[in-house]
Amino acid sequence: MKALMLTNEYPPHIYGGAGVHVDYLTRELARLMEVEVRCFGDQKLAAENLTVQGFGFDDTKFGCPKALHSVFTSLQRDVAFAAAGGGGVDLVHVHTWYTHLAGILMKLNYSLPLVLTVHSLEPLRPWKREQLGGGYDFSVWVERTAMEMADAIIAVSESTREDVLDHFNVAPSRLHVIHNGIDLEEYRQKNDDAVLRKHGIDPSRPYILFVGRITRQKGIVHLVRALRFLDRGFQVVLCAGAPDTPEIALQMQEAVAAAQAQRPGVIWIEQMVPKAEIIPLYSQAALFVCPSIYEPFGIINLEAMACETPVVASRVGGIPEVVVHGETGLLVPVEQMTEAPFELRDAEKFSRDFAVAINDLMRDEPRRVAMAVAARRRVEHVFSWEAVAQTTANLYREVCDGARRS
């Protein structure tokens, strides 16, 4: 069997959970079958059972608004993905709306079965209009079209599966839940005081850690607003970069500046930290925090738990399938406004409740230590990439057998 993987993100150009997923999944699948990856960028790799080809773009003649450049450059590359051919490929597997048009083209032109992994859903991210303008209407349309054409849809959590059924005309028999995974050898506790000092963190003082993009989805602004309610005896480290829009970047800057004026020890690392450094940051944190208001899975929580760090997170989406409340961390309820999806009914209350959960655990070191042990144990038992790849390979065979019968 040969699988063709289409993705926006692939190493070294990774900025989110979908890219992490594709990176590890392709490596594990290549132990079981031949895998070809077509991605956005300049990558080129030819290894045993795994080939990777990056595709660039040319926007020199674009006259469209800046917000639409990412849309039209994605479509350029999608057409190039499909035009590169489908010979020798048994199926095509797409990730995120950026590659959905390519999957549609390959299914129609080459009669290839189409598998689609849902990492997030456009109808549940209305704030993307701030980033894409009218391009958001296109991303919603192409996602719906691909979803309703796909031979199989992989949801990364049970919550995401329910969201798909709520928003799309998809037969439940085509929906399959396969959780994200974690590399248990790579993500394990590793202390390195030099890394902490490099980023201005005092290794002798405890700290809580946030890692993520600056986007409304990740709830970072709510966390920063919660800082005024936190005890003063620990540091707050925010690894937050890649803002969606200039507006949210400015909002973040103002919120952090206000927090730094109110309490000492607020450290903002304005970049996506490399893996060799993020693992010690996870490992030496007293607590990892994930205040997302929309999170289909939340792979960052797995990474923290694998490094033996308990988690305080929002009780949304797939997070409760990862973080066990009272055992590997604490979950904070999020009350959202039904008339304005993913706007909080009482943002002040959410920030205050999140701070209460953080303070409770930071005041109870023995409980944190017990949660840290339980967190690593849970990751080891449930979320290995080897198991994810084997389940995915079995689904591929099922899809291909069904295509041959039809």
Could you say which DSSP state residue 325 is in? B
Q: Confirm or reject CATH 2.60.120.260 for domain 193-382, answering yes or no.
A: no
* Residue of 30, 45, 39, 47 lying closest to 10 (CA atoms): 39
Helices (H) and strands (E) in the chain, counts: 14, 14
Question: What is the pLDDT at residue 341?
Answer: 55
Q: Which residues contact 87 (CB under 8 A, 6 or more apart)?
A: none
Tell me if domain 2-181+384-405 and domain 193-382 are identical in fold: yes
Q: Which two tokens stand for residue 406?
A: 């039809």
Domain boundaries, the chain: 2-181+384-405, 193-382
Torsion sign over Cα 295, 122, 152, 85:
negative
CA–CA dist 183, 386 (Å, integer): 9
Residue 280: cis peptide before it, omega within 30 degrees of 0: no
CA 144 to chain centre: 20
Q: Are 21 and 119 in contact (CB under 8 A)?
A: yes
pLDDT tens sequence for the chain (406 residues) = 999 999 999 999 998 889 999 999 999 999 999 999 999 999 999 999 999 999 999 999 999 999 899 999 999 999 999 999 998 999 999 999 999 999 999 999 999 999 999 999 998 888 788 888 899 999 999 999 999 999 999 999 999 999 999 999 999 999 999 999 999 999 999 999 999 999 999 999 999 999 988 888 888 889 988 999 999 999 999 998 877 788 888 888 888 888 888 888 999 998 888 889 999 999 999 999 999 988 888 889 999 999 999 999 999 989 999 999 999 999 999 987 555 555 777 888 999 999 999 999 999 999 999 999 999 999 998 898 998 999 999 999 999 999 888 7
Structure-token match 């450094």, residue found = 277
Structure-token match 């929580």, residue found = 301
Q: Which residues contact 70 (CB under 8 A, 6 or more apart)?
A: 132, 135
Question: What is the pLDDT at residue 339?
Answer: 59
Question: What is the pLDDT at residue 99?
Answer: 98
Please list the residues that pair with 55 across neighbouring strands: 40
Could you say which DSSP state residue 329 is in? E
Q: Which residues contact 300 (CB under 8 A, 6 or more apart)?
A: 17, 211, 212, 288, 290
- Residue 261 main-chain phi, psi, to 5 deg: -75, -25
How much is the pTM? 0.80
CA–CA dist 57, 99 (Å, integer): 14
CA–CA dist 280, 88 (Å, integer): 43
Q: Which two tokens stand for residue 261?
A: 């004026």
The CATH classification number of 2-181+384-405 equals 3.40.50.2000
Question: What is the pLDDT at residue 242?
Answer: 76
Tell me the three state secondary structure of residue 188.
coil
Structure-token match 């700290």, residue found = 207
Q: Which two tokens stand for residue 105?
A: 């083209």
Question: What is the pLDDT at residue 88?
Answer: 92
- Residue 402 main-chain phi, psi, to 5 deg: -65, -40
